[in-house]
Amino acid sequence: MTDSKIDVWNPATEAKIDEVKAFTREEVADAVERAQRAQREWVALSFAARQQLLYDIADTVMRHRDELAQLESQDVGKPMRAALAEAESVAGVFRYYAGAIDKLSGESIPVDGGVTLTFHEPVGVVGIITPWNFPLPIASWNIAPALAAGNAVIVKPASLTPLSTRRLGELVEEISPVPGLLQVVTGGGGSVGSTLIEHPGVRKISFTGSTEVGRSILQSSAQDFTRVTLELGGKSANIVFADADVKAAAQAAPWAVFDNSGQDCCARSRILVQRDALDEFLEEFVSATDALRVGDPGQLETDLGPLVSAEHRDTVLSFIDDDLNLLFKGRAPEGKGHWLAPHIALDESGATRAAREEIFGPVAVVIPFDTEQDAIRLANESVYGLSGSIWTGNVGRALRVARGVESGTLAVNSNSSIRVQTPFGGFKQSGIGRELGMEGLRGYTELKSVFLNGQS
């Protein structure tokens, strides 16, 4: 990294693949002023005109799907099959919010002396700070509803993985009727990110990343009472009861924790298994994990790629110590690349670091439990509450446990957390606010009440 450029590296080859501009604080401030002008022009357009741009963005993403996926694969180390699917999902997000633009309705509330109407007004300029693990999808989860609500957007992608987001910004600028409506500013969090957070012209910040950074953003936002949405860390539980289809749960479990090489805040890395089903589950889980193919992200048959950087791999490796009762260690390529194969450990007490802290890598810890109450207690013994799964054949139990677990997004007999139509976000230290669904759209608005005097 120089004063004006940031190098971008391929984690599978350790080769430099590009460089991006490091914006100065003054340039970020200029971007905010440009966004303010764009927002006033954008919100004055008709619903139809605004909808058309979001549909056009979706179509543009699909035309450039292969290019965007290639960029995502190269700078994240993401398997190409996953990168292609994620690019398609981005188009789906823009289509969903295009259709939602004219459905952001308020209320008509009868009150003494007249009626009160409520309106969802755009906040103005929105700053979006995205993570390195799912750069393009998470950017879309925030860009699309922010635009749909009538805002202008400035995105700061992670310095490790800026390429796909930068390209999306270029594509939108080419087709947008409003210059400066979506801008991408690259650079470090200490300069670019903090400038966005502290600028009084930025009325909302959406951040996805670590709980530690989220805490500092929340503190900084207090100066101007900047609105925030924070999607932070996770240590999600995958609860498997003995009355479930244990084989199905075990065969699905590898993707629930090892997808994206475990670099996922929703990773169900604490696997709680009822003791009567433990042996069957472990046998199937180890077998299914052993079948995962770790290797070249550019090959469509690859399941798992490298970790994003050597520094991050060292962090993950620090959890694999003598206190961890390893049952399985997978195979990964040797030589160049930040490779780390899946690991499975058994922890009878659930007290190891690996069982309690967010690892953000391919390490799963299986913890036995006896009763339904034990499962809920173990699931809630975490500062996080983002996601999780419940596997059982008993509908009543599924509902009881789902209501008892302190988590924002749960799935029953499934490991699927995220759909564009439904809200996503966490309890406790997993964040504030919700993304996706109509809740995600409303999160980019201010609610206004207008009283109409019926007696005048």
Return the exposure string of 78-115: e unless at least 16 CB atoms fall within 10 Å of the residue's CB, then b.
bbbbbbbebbebbbbbbbbbbebbeebebeeeeeeeee
Contact assessment for residue 72 and residue 165, using Cβ atoms and an 8 Å cutoff: no
Contact assessment for residue 231 and residue 431, using Cβ atoms and an 8 Å cutoff: yes
In the set 231, 284, 358, 435, the catalytic residue is 231
Contact assessment for residue 306 and residue 297, using Cβ atoms and an 8 Å cutoff: yes
> What single DSSP character describes residue 435?
B
Q: How distant is the alpha carbon of residue 187 from its chain centre?
A: 20
Contact assessment for residue 408 and residue 436, using Cβ atoms and an 8 Å cutoff: no
Residue 101: strand, helix, or coil: helix
> What single DSSP character describes residue 121?
E
Residue of 48, 40, 46, 87 whose CA lies nearest to 181: 40
Residue 348: strand, helix, or coil: coil
- Judged on CB neighbours under 10 Å (0-12, 13-18, 19+), 36 is middle
Q: Tokens representing 376?
A: 């809920």
Residue type, 23: F
Q: Tokens representing 230?
A: 């924070």
Q: Which residues contact residue 115 at a Cβ distance below 8 angstroms, ignoring those fewer than 6 apart? A: 108, 109, 451, 452, 454
> How far is 353 from 376, CA to CA, in rounded Å?
20
Q: Tokens representing 436?
A: 């996706």
Active site residue 41: no
Sheet-wide strand order for 152-156: 182-184, 152-156, 125-129, 204-208, 227-231, 431-432
Catalytic residues: 231
